[in-house]
Amino acid sequence: MIELKTPAEIEAMRPAGAFVAEVLTALKEHAAIGVTLLELDKLAHEMIRERGATSCYIDYHPSFGASPFGHVLCTSVNDAVLHGLPNGYALRDGDLLSVDFAVSVDGWVADSALSVVVGTPRAADLRVIQATEKALDVAIEAAVVGNRLGDISAAIGEVARSYGYPVNTQFGGHGVGRDMHGDPHVPNAGRPGRGLPLRPGLVIALEPWFMTGTDEIYTDPDGWTLRSHDGSRGAHSEHTIAITEGGPVVLTARSV
């Protein structure tokens, strides 16, 4: 069921969005050669505790997960493209790291993700990160009253095609509110003018994620981490936004 938020409820979601942005900014600064994925998870966990927030991930156990997730971050490296389960892997020079983070603050959820290169970047990695960030920007621009859900999906897919990347539509954006995942599903490709009319009060997480060489994925033996089928690298960008009469509001915006 799709739930529309009142202006007061959207305001009540701002603290969660601001905290998610704060944590992702700290993680981006902390990610360096030699730092392990578990160390990043520990830092986020400590910030959650200090803030009195609640992780959306620790007990999360959807049908596609082998067990409850057990950590507070998704940390996906190189050909791991989504749902990366933190482990003892130490980041190396040139690694492409995507971090996805969602928490509840005062009963409201915010969800966001970013991708960074650790150490010396490859041009191809910077390009796929740029593509996801550009796709996120145009998706947000399309998230206005009077448009339809398909306009958002089509905008994301058009960016992917312009970069020459295929699009996987198994996982995409979603509704956000009291829970992390709700209706509607927002695929990263679609047809303009189709689907749900966008109305004030709709709060959704938009999350373009692209792989450079394939649209096929498989699940790691850890039961969670999703990898590209051909070993190509991927990137992931995400914001939680609210659709309002005055235009889209990015609840998880990070300071530049």
Task: Write out the binding residues for a divalent metal cation.
Answer: 100, 111, 174, 207, 238
Tell me which CATH homologous superfamily contains domain 7-250. Creatinase/methionine aminopeptidase superfamily (3.90.230.10)
Query: Which of 124, 59, 93, 100 is closest to 226 using CA atoms?
Result: 100
Looking at residue 62, its pLDDT comes to: 87
SS (H, E, C) the chain: CCCCCCHHHHHHHHHHHHHHHHHHHHHHHHCCCCCEHHHHHHHHHHHHHHHCCEECCCCCCCCCCCCCCCCCCEEEECCEEECCCCCCCECCCCCEEEEEEEEEECCEEEEEEEEEECCCCCHHHHHHHHHHHHHHHHHHHHCCECEEHHHHHHHHHHHHHHHCCCCCCCCCEEECCCCCCEEEEECCCCCCCCCCECCCCCEEEECCEEECCCCCEEECCCCCCEEECCCCCEEECEEEEEEECCEEEECCCCCC
Question: How far apart are the C-alpha atoms of 128 and 120, rounded to whole Å?
Answer: 15
Question: How far apart are the C-alpha atoms of 85 and 153, rounded to whole Å?
Answer: 27
Domain regions of the chain by residue span:
7-250
Looking at residue 122, its pLDDT comes to: 97
Task: Write out the binding residues for substrate.
Answer: 83, 181
Task: Write out the binding residues.
Answer: 83, 100, 111, 174, 181, 207, 238
Looking at residue 256, its pLDDT comes to: 64
pTM of the model: 0.96
Per-residue model confidence as pLDDT tens for the chain (256 residues) = 899 999 999 999 999 999 999 999 999 999 999 999 999 999 999 999 999 999 999 999 988 888 999 999 999 999 999 999 999 999 999 999 999 999 999 999 999 999 999 999 999 999 999 999 999 999 999 999 999 999 999 999 999 999 999 999 999 999 999 999 999 999 999 999 999 999 999 999 999 999 999 999 999 999 999 999 999 999 999 999 999 999 999 999 998 6
Looking at residue 20, its pLDDT comes to: 98
